[in-house]
Amino acid sequence: MEHAFYKFGRSVLALIAFITVLLTGTLPVMAGNIVAVRTWPADDYTRITLEHDGNVHAKHFLLANPDRLVVDVDGTELNATLKELISKIQPDDPYIQQVRVGQLNPKTVRLVFDLKTAVNPQVFSLAPIDKYKHRLVLDLYPKEPLDPIATLIMKGEWKNDPEPVQVAASTPKKSIIDAPSRKTSLSEEPLKDAEKMQLKRMVTIVVDPGHGGEDSGAIGARGSKEKDVVLAIGKRLKAKIEQQPNMRVVMTRNADFFVPLGTRVQKARAVQADLFISIHADAFVQPTARGSSVFVLSEKGASSTAARWLAKRENAADLIGGVNIKKHDRQLASVLLDLSTTAQIKNSMKLGNAVLNEMGGINRLHKGSVEQAAFAVLKAPDIPSILVETAFISNPEEEAKLNNDAHQENIANAILNGVKKYFAKNPPRVRNGMI
C-alpha cells in the first residue's frame, strides 16, 4: 500500500510540473539553500560570500542618508546559516557597520548593510569549483578609489630619502637554535666591497604573498594553508626591508583577503616598483617532493613539465578566489599581460639567480637553476619579477619547517640577501621626479 501511495504522489507531482510547463513554458524552480557565509574585511575592500547549492540570484541598490546597501537574494529562504552573517561582521570592518537580514517574501531574503562610508558594490556569481559550490559574492569597494601611495604615506609606511646612500648588504651574523635543536645560520653574510650597493634613490620592492581569502592555496598534511604561511613570511620580509636604508616595501596583501592576479600586477605598477617578489609554498601529488625553487616569466613556454603544471595551477587562483569578469576588466588584463619584454625577463633572471643561491644556503633546492613558465602574476612589463616557491607544503617535513618561526626568518633573510646582491650588480635606474 505504501509503495502504491508513493507512486501516486510522484504522479501528482509530475502532473503539476506538466501543467506548469503548459501554462508558463517553464519548469518549477526549487529553492536554493545558503550552506555557508564568509566575510573577508580588508582596507582594499570587504568581500561577503554566500555559498549555496544553486538557483539563487541577487539584485541590489544603494540608499543614502545614511549610506546603506540593500541586497535582495531571490530563490532562497532565511535559515540559521544566513543568520550567522550578522555575527560575522567585525567591529573593525572598514566599510560595514552592521547587517540586518529578513524574509522579504516567500522566495526572497533581504540583506541590509549599514555602511560606514559610501561604497561602490560589485555583486556577481561564481560557478562551482574546487571545494566550493555556487557562490554569490558581494564586493564592497570604497566609492573613492584608494591611492596606494597616499594610503602608505598616511600610515607612515612610505619612506622618502633622496640622498645617495651606500648600503652594505650585511648585518651582524647571528645564529639560532632551529627545531628540534639544530643550529642554523641566518645567512646574513657581508658582501665584498665590490658588491656593495650604490642606491642613488629610494627603491620600491613589492612583496606579494600568494593566494588569500577564498583561495587557500595548497594545504599540507597537517592542515597548514599556503595562504597563511606565505603571509607570515611576507610580513617578516617586509619588516627586514624596512630596516634597510633607501628601501621601501609595499605588500599586495597584508591580511587574509583575496587579490586577483591582474590587480597584484597593477598594484606594483601603481607604485612604480623596482622589484616584484611573489611568495608561495609548493604542493605536489607525491608527499616526497621537496625543495625550494625560483621562477621567472617565460615568453616561449615552460622550462619543464613541472613548471608548466605549477603555472597552470597558480594561474587558476582567480577562478578559485573569485573575480568579477567584466568586458573592460578583460581588456585591461589583456593590455597588462601582453606587454612583457625581453629586458624584464633578463633582469628577472638575474634577480632569480641571486635569490636562488641564497635559498640554497637554508634549504635543499628542488632544481639547481631558475625555472621559467607563464605565471600571470609575473607579467608586469617593466618590473623584474620572481616567484619564490619556499618549499613543498605537501611534504610533512617541509610543512613543519614552514611553520617554524626560525625557518621563516631564514627564508626572509635569504630573499633579502638575494635582493641586496642583485642591486649590488644591477643598480636601479634613475627616474626623473622619482625619489
Average pLDDT (124-133) is 95
pLDDT at 330: 54
Sorted by where each begins, the domain ranges of the chain are 34-142, 148-425
Q: Contact, 298 vs 312, CB < 8 A?
A: no
Which stretch, 30-39, 142-151, 235-244, 317-326, has highest mean pLDDT?
A: 235-244
**How many Cβ atoms sit within 10 Å of the Cβ of residue 25?**
7
| pLDDT band per the 50, 70, 90 thresholds, residue 319 | very high
Higher pLDDT, 152 or 405: 405
The CA-based angle 248-252-257, given to 5 degrees, is 145
What percent of the chain stands above pLDDT 70?
A: 79
pLDDT at 2 over 50: no
Q: Contact, 96 vs 114, CB < 8 A?
A: yes
Q: What is the DSSP string of 301-351?
A: --SSHHHHHHHHHHHTHHHHH-----HHHHHHHHHHHT---HHHHHHHHHH
- CATH second-level architecture of 34-142? Sandwich (2.60)
- Element at 37 (helix H, strand E): strand 34-40
pTM of the predicted model over 0.95 = no
* 180 prior amide bond cis, ω within 30: yes
205 vs 250: CA distance, rounded Å: 6
Question: Is 148-425 in the same CATH topology as 34-142?
Answer: no
What grid cell was written down for 381?
A: 612589463
pLDDT at 121 over 80: yes
pLDDT in tens, 199-219: 678 999 999 999 999 999 999
Query: Within 13 Å and on the Cβ side, how many CA atoms surround 317?
Result: 27
pLDDT at 178: 35
- Three-state DSSP at 377 gives helix
The strand pair at 119-126 and 134-142 is best described as antiparallel
Q: What residue type is assigned to position 212 of the chain?
A: G
DSSP state of 190: P
pLDDT at 199: 64
Whether domain 148-425 has CATH 3.30.420.40: the reply is: no
- CB neighbours of 155 closer than 8 A, spacing ≥ 6? none
pLDDT at 335: 47
pLDDT in tens, 80-107: 999 999 999 999 999 999 999 999 999 9
Higher pLDDT, 245 or 113: 113
Across the strands, what pairs with 374?
none
pLDDT in tens, 377-415: 998 888 999 999 999 999 999 999 999 999 999 999 999
Our measurement of the distance from residue 262's CA atom to the centroid of its chain's CA atoms, rounded to an integer in Å, reads: 11
pLDDT at 232: 98
| pLDDT band per the 50, 70, 90 thresholds, residue 348 | very high
pLDDT at 167: 47
Q: Which candidate, 275, 288, 266, places its Cα nearest to that of 384?
A: 275
| pLDDT band per the 50, 70, 90 thresholds, residue 177 | very low
408 vs 308: CA distance, rounded Å: 27
Across the strands, what pairs with 386?
277
pLDDT at 65 over 50: yes
**How many Cβ atoms sit within 10 Å of the Cβ of residue 28?**
10
* 427 prior amide bond cis, ω within 30: no
170 vs 197: CA distance, rounded Å: 11
Exposure b/e, 225-243, CB count within 10 A at least 16 = b: bbbbbbbbbbbbbbebbee
Residue 77 buriedness (CB in 10 A; 0-12 / 13-18 / 19+): middle
pLDDT at 28 over 60: no
pLDDT at 324: 87
| pLDDT band per the 50, 70, 90 thresholds, residue 227 | very high
pLDDT at 181 over 70: no
Average pLDDT (315-333) is 75
Expressed in angstroms, the distance from the first to the final Cα of the chain is 87
pLDDT at 192: 60
Residue 189 buriedness (CB in 10 A; 0-12 / 13-18 / 19+): middle
Higher pLDDT, 16 or 147: 147
- The mean pLDDT value of the chain amounts to 85
Q: What residue type is assigned to position 6 of the chain?
A: Y
pLDDT at 4 over 80: no
pLDDT at 263 over 90: yes
Average pLDDT (231-255) is 96
235 vs 273: CA distance, rounded Å: 18
